[in-house]
Amino acid sequence: MNDQELLARVTEKARLWLGEHYDAETRAQVRAMLDNEDKTDLIESFYKDLEFGTGGLRGIMGAGSNRMNIYTVGAATQGLANYLLENFKNLEQIKVVVGHDVRNNSRLFAETVANIFSANGIKVFLFESARPTPEVSYAIRLLGCQSGVNITASHNPKEYNGYKAYWDDGAQVVAPHDVNIIDHVNRIASVAEIKFDGNPDLIEIIGEEIDAQYIEQIHTLSLSPEVDKRQHDLKIVYTPIHGTGRYMVPRSIERWGFDNIIHVPEQDVMSGDFPTVDSPNPENASAMAMAIEKAKEVQADIVLASDPDADRIGVVIKNTRGEYALVNGNQIVMIFLYYLMARNRELGLLTGNEYIVKTIVTTETIRRIADKLGIKMYDCFTGFKWIATVMRENEGKARYLGGGEESYGFLPEDFVRDKDSVSSIPLMCEIAAWAKEKGMTMNDILIDIYKTYGYSKERGISVVRPGKSGADEIAAMMVNFRENPLKEIDGSPVTLIKDYQLLQQKDVTTGKVTPLDMPAKSNVLQYFTADGTKVSIRPSGTEPKIKFYIEVHDTLDDAANYDAKNDWADEKLNRIARDLGI
């Protein structure tokens, strides 16, 4: 399609949004885009419809089919409602949970969703105010619902909002339901088919009663309650970065017995404008800067953060030089799983029927730990819906210890089916207390893992390419990597290539091709080299970017060499990034 054809198509599509079924504000925004000589906004707003990705529906707020607004939210909800009515037609009453984060328009979108569900005869449990994403998952399971929706754009910039659809197990929607829901959404030919007028009798407001049960159940995860009591005054700096963790996370930490929580007052303000940060992402040093300053002031033992919808976790500890430094996502997952496996072994709780889960782009060091401790490990695709799929398949058969992904998400419980900072943060506090009890720092724990199971360092690099042209460029990059596969990485020959789009792996040394046992296809490429390097490449399912995950390996014989090993790894990672042209 050439530029003129594209413009004609989006213009025709946009004119439909000038109809009487759209509100005056929306019509005015669309008219302004049509009248503007620069058609960039028009094209970006209408060149496609928002689609479900690894995290559901997500986009910039505004008018248009490719924007988050009450109409795109409405179409998604009407399609989901139609599918629920079809899929659960034998139930006397279909039930759903609806929640939202602190973002601008989140309450409006959540109430819109609740109204549409209720207008379709579906019972709605609507949270009274902003709540953590994992609590929505928890409530779906607790209340025996068939589905749920959470309005959130996670850690994205303030211009974004999103829509996460959940199924009856509390997990995000996967195939075949995701495809079927989209099909039902696409059947809606007009906004007039969306039932916006809700039935108040079918909407029940929920809040504290769910909060209390959630916090109590999270506390059952503690493996070292006596240690928590003895180390109750552990100095913990916590920031919600203006998000939904503001009340629930400190409450959860306190329930575990820790009573020395030091706040960052400016970031306790719950606001969709995220006024103290450029981006409310705890993996970014800039978002953690105020918490780190507070930590320096009070000489904190650990710094912890949650993102705006309180599913991701950020961690800062003192490094070898006594400086506060971010722990990366791979290290966070590794520390969690190491503790859960090692502590269960210490307590004599391992029966040989336990398992952990990580994603394919998360560090392979976790596999080494699990292998040495005799615990089964599953690899799955990026996105917690895939971790939840493994949990669903093992329900009633094996005991889940924990699972996580390098993008700062972890889940230590099985009564929630999405990443959870409300449980992960007090667990990380317990790990810090456990280390302190042993006369160790968190950095000592990290070094000890590397000495015992092998050293690794990882780096994630995102190449952002927004808009239609960006999407085309990202697609072309993936085609190029497939058609011209890497032969070596930093001088080490590639020995294995895994292509999850084709669901096959190739042993480069022998030429043998074998199938990959995965539940679906995914547009991911992985290269493994003779020296243990792993490079993974995948387009994001929720953001306009292509992601590169680089992982290098070596041994660490002496803790005194840790900083030197990090320097070596940084140089190697830099060379690899240059080789990849990123």
Rounded to the nearest 10°, the torsion over CA 206, 208, 209, 211 is: 100
How far is it, in rounded angstroms, from Cα 358 to Cα 458?
15
Q: Does residue 227 carry a pLDDT above 60? A: yes
Residue 82's pLDDT band, with cuts at 50, 70 and 90, is very high
Is it true that the peptide bond before 515 is cis, omega within 30 degrees of 0? no
Which pLDDT score is estimated for 231? 98
Residue at which a domain ends, from 167, 190, 206: 206
Which pLDDT score is estimated for 175? 85
Angle (nearest 5°) at CA 83 between 82 and 85: 65
Residue at which a domain ends, from 388, 418, 453: 453
CB 375 within 8 A of CB 354: yes
Q: Does residue 282 carry a pLDDT above 60? A: yes
Residue 554's pLDDT band, with cuts at 50, 70 and 90, is very high
The predicted-structure confidence for 373-421, as pLDDT tens digits, reads as follows: 999 999 999 989 999 999 999 999 999 999 999 999 999 999 999 999 9
CA neighbor of 418 nearest in space, from 121, 31, 68, 148: 148
Q: E strands of 157-199, at which residues?
A: 160-167
154 labelled catalytic: yes
Which pLDDT score is estimated for 1? 59
What's the chain's average pLDDT? 95
HEC sequence for 360-414: CCCCCHHHHHHHHHCCEEEEECCCHHHHHHHHHHHCCCCEEEEEEECCCEEECCC
**How far are the Cα atoms of 148, 261, 343, 490 from residue 223, in angstroms, in the given order?**
31, 20, 7, 43
CA neighbor of 202 nearest in space, from 117, 118, 85: 118
* 194 and 252 within one domain: no
Q: What is the mean pLDDT of residues 206-226?
A: 98
Domain that holds residue 462: 456-580
Residues 6+ apart with CB under 8 A from 55: 154, 162, 164, 172, 383, 541, 542
Number of domains the chain contains: 4
Q: What is the mean pLDDT of residues 412-439?
A: 98
* 328 and 409 within one domain: yes
| Cα–chain center distance at 566 | 27
Minimum mean pLDDT range among 44-58, 65-79, 422-436: 44-58
Residue 542's pLDDT band, with cuts at 50, 70 and 90, is low
* 249 and 360 within one domain: yes
* 86 and 40 within one domain: no
Half-sphere exposure (Cβ direction) of 516: Cα atoms closer than 13 Å: 24
Which pLDDT score is estimated for 150? 98
Catalytic annotation, pick one of 45, 147, 154, 306: 154
* 84 and 21 within one domain: no
SS3 219: helix
| Both tokens assigned to 395 | 């329900």
Residue 183's pLDDT band, with cuts at 50, 70 and 90, is confident
CB 268 within 8 A of CB 240: yes
CA neighbor of 235 nearest in space, from 149, 300, 179, 140: 300
Rounded to the nearest 10°, the torsion over CA 28, 30, 34, 36 is: 70
How far is it, in rounded angstroms, from Cα 406 to Cα 313?
11
Minimum mean pLDDT range among 300-309, 365-374, 466-475: 466-475
* 9 and 86 within one domain: no
Which pLDDT score is estimated for 56? 67
The predicted-structure confidence for 21-61, as pLDDT tens digits, reads as follows: 999 999 999 999 999 999 999 999 999 887 765 456 889 99
Minimum mean pLDDT range among 285-299, 347-361, 459-473: 459-473
* 306 and 168 within one domain: no
Q: What is the mean pLDDT of residues 164-179?
A: 92
Partner residues linked to 260 by β-bridges:
none
* 445 and 308 within one domain: yes
Residue at which a domain ends, from 394, 422, 453: 453
Q: Does residue 337 carry a pLDDT above 80? A: yes
Which pLDDT score is estimated for 2? 72
Q: Does residue 14 carry a pLDDT above 60? A: yes
Q: What is the mean pLDDT of residues 264-282?
A: 97
* 469 and 535 within one domain: yes
* 448 and 482 within one domain: no
475: domain CATH number is: 3.30.310
101: domain CATH number is: 3.40.120.10
Which pLDDT score is estimated for 229? 98
**The overall pTM is greater than 0.85:** yes
* 118 and 233 within one domain: no
The predicted-structure confidence for 348-373, as pLDDT tens digits, reads as follows: 999 999 999 999 999 999 999 999 99
* 39 and 66 within one domain: no
Which pLDDT score is estimated for 468? 78
